[in-house]
């Protein structure tokens, strides 16, 4: 790794001046795009999961956005489909270079290409880490509420999931002293979500240092999932974990273009591993499990991590920030309901506890009365009861309609 810059760049300077979108290729985030009937989990399966009909329901659950990616990504796919032969892909040099460029220009640290491993998405990468650095029966830590797939993969790999509670009443800050008391010595890995899904928190440098101390004290491997790091709202600054001292020899950073560029279906993520000994272990796992990325994800990601992609991300953040403001104003106007202030991501964590309703009552009003598919807080483990997670990565018209329906559904509240 090149000498790491010790401070993440302020958001304003993370924005790139160059990389104009080609003439005629406009960014129109308001464009209505009907995703129904495209084998899309979020819109096509909401009836099966929530009983919300796609005929007039609004899908705000699965964490992908409803936007098309930038033109540079579309051109990369078009090049492949125009050629029309779908054999094995070649080397991944350009992809690795693009990842390193992105990290340096957007996050202020520059990995070397050999640190970058391509995986079939980040849930897959978490599974590979579990296989590399723990055994069945070992304890694996997550901070709760937690992204539900972490729990699925940890339990699926027959490791014991240990939920470290965040402090609900303090807008989900750390409680490291309480966590220390929970340790038994059988813990192997902490999966950190930075920024955090589902609460939308960006961890401060001081908080990341506390986490670094915690993993050192308990001799843990730190898997830092930074998939939401490119979706930071103005006024907040994400610090990539490699910029925090003292964890480099126990760190795996997970990152992907899938959330910021809406490429989840390409199933490509990267595990970035600064330490050569850890890299050797991870490489062995990938070899043993026959891991290789699909041929679409590599050029799509390479195209995304470019000046043109950066310009698109900045435009998307401006749009999402206006969604966020409209959403939080509308939600906070409901008596007893509060959106936890969103610092990153398009996943809004909404607190319904002040209504005095049970989770089942809240779910019923959201699914049946408002006809909105959203994740119940209880899907995210400890600290989720009484909350719901809404995906606001959608056209503004959907946000306005969802708010109007929620005001009708909860209109009797005083």
Contacts to ligand PLP by CB under 6 A: 63, 121-123, 147, 193, 197, 225, 227, 256, 258, 264, 269
* Minimum CB distance to ligand PLP, residue 264 (Å): 5
Is 191 or 334 the residue whose CB approaches ligand PLP more closely? 191
* Least CB distance to ligand PLP at residue 8 (A): 19
Question: Which residue, 156 or 364, has its beta carbon nearer to ligand PLP?
Answer: 156
As measured in angstroms, the least distance from the Cβ of 63 to ligand PLP is: 3
- Comparing CB distances to ligand PLP, the nearer of 193 and 337 is 193
The β-bridge partners of 161 are 140
Rounded Cα gap, residues 240 and 205, in angstroms: 9
Nearer to ligand PLP, 258 or 302 (CB): 258
Of the candidates 256, 259, 265, 167, the residue with the CA atom closest to the CA atom of residue 207:
167
CB of 227 to ligand PLP, least distance (A): 4
Minimum CB distance to ligand PLP, residue 249 (Å): 23
Q: Residue 184 Cβ, how far from ligand PLP at the closest point, in Å? A: 26
Q: Give the burial class of 108: count Cβ atoms within 10 A of its Cβ; 0-12 exposed, 13-18 middle, 19 or more buried.
A: buried
| Closest listed residue to residue 7, CA positions, set 297, 208, 299, 184 | 208
Q: Which residues contact 334 (CB under 8 A, 6 or more apart)?
A: 406, 407, 410, 413
Residues 139, 133: Cα–Cα separation, whole Å: 11
Half-sphere exposure of 54 toward its Cβ, with a 13 Å CA cutoff?
16
Query: Given strand 387-391, what is the order of strands in its sheet?
Result: 338-339, 347-351, 387-391, 375-376
* CB 265 to ligand PLP: min, Å: 9
Residue with tokens 């090149």: 2
> Which residue has the CB atom at the shortest distance from ligand PLP?
121
Residue whose CB is less far from ligand PLP, 258 or 348: 258
Measured from the CB atom, is 70 or 269 closer to ligand PLP? Answer: 269
CB 191 to ligand PLP: min, Å: 9
> What's CA 253's distance to the chain center, in Å?
13
Judged by beta carbon, residue 224 or residue 323, the one nearer ligand PLP is 224
Instruction: Please state the closest distance from residue 17 (CB atom) to ligand PLP, in A.
Output: 30
The least distance separating ligand PLP from the CB of residue 263, rounded to whole angstroms, comes to 9
* Distance from C-alpha of 234 to C-alpha of 414, rounded to nearest angstrom: 33
Q: What number of CA atoms fall less than 13 Å from residue 274's CA on the CB side?
A: 24
Q: Which is nearer to ligand PLP, 227 or 286 (CB)?
A: 227
Residue (197 or 348) nearer to ligand PLP, CB: 197
Q: Which is nearer to ligand PLP, 63 or 154 (CB)?
A: 63
């Amino acid at each position: 790794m090149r000498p790491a810059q010790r401070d993440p760049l302020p958001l304003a300077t993370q924005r790139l001046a160059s990389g104009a979108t080609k003439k005629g290729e406009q960014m129109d985030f308001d464009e209505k795009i009907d995703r129904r009937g495209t084998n899309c989990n979020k819109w096509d399966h909401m009836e099966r999961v929530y009983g919300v009909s796609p005929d007039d329901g609004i899908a705000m659950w699965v964490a992908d956005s409803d936007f098309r990616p930038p033109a540079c990504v579309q051109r990369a796919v078009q090049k492949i489909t125009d050629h029309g032969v779908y054999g094995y892909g070649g080397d991944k040099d350009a992809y690795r270079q693009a990842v390193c460029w992105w990290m340096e220009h957007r996050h202020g640290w520059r990995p070397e290409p050999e640190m970058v491993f391509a995986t079939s998405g980040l849930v897959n990468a978490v599974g590979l880490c579990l296989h590399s650095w723990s055994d069945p029966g070992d304890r694996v830590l997550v901070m709760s509420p937690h992204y539900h797939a972490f729990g699925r993969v940890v339990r699926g790999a027959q490791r014991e999931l240990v939920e470290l509670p965040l402090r609900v009443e303090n807008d989900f800050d750390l409680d490291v002293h309480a966590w220390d008391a929970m340790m038994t010595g059988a813990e192997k890995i902490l999966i950190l979500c930075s920024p955090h899904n589902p609460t939308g928190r960006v961890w401060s440098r001081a908080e990341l240092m506390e986490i670094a101390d915690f993993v050192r004290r308990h001799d843990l491997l730190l898997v830092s999932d930074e998939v939401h790091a490119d979706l930071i709202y103005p006024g907040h600054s994400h610090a990539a974990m490699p910029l925090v001292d003292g964890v480099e020899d126990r760190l795996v950073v997970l990152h992907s273009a899938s959330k910021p560029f809406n490429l989840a279906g390409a199933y490509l993520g990267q595990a970035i591993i600064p330490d050569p000994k850890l890299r050797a272990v991870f490489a062995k796992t990938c070899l043993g499990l026959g891991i290789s990325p699909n041929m679409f994800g590599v050029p799509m990601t390479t195209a995304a991590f470019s000046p043109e992609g950066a310009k698109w991300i900045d435009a998307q953040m401006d749009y999402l920030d206006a969604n966020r403001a409209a959403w939080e104003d509308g939600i906070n106007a409901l008596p007893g309901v509060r959106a936890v202030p969103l610092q990153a991501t398009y996943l809004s964590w909404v607190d319904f506890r002040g209504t005095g309703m049970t989770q089942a009552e809240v779910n019923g009003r959201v699914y049946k009365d408002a006809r909105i598919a959203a994740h119940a807080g209880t899907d995210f483990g400890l600290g989720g009861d009484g909350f719901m997670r809404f995906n606001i990565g959608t056209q503004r018209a959907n946000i306005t309609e969802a708010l109007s329906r929620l005001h009708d559904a909860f209109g009797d509240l005083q």
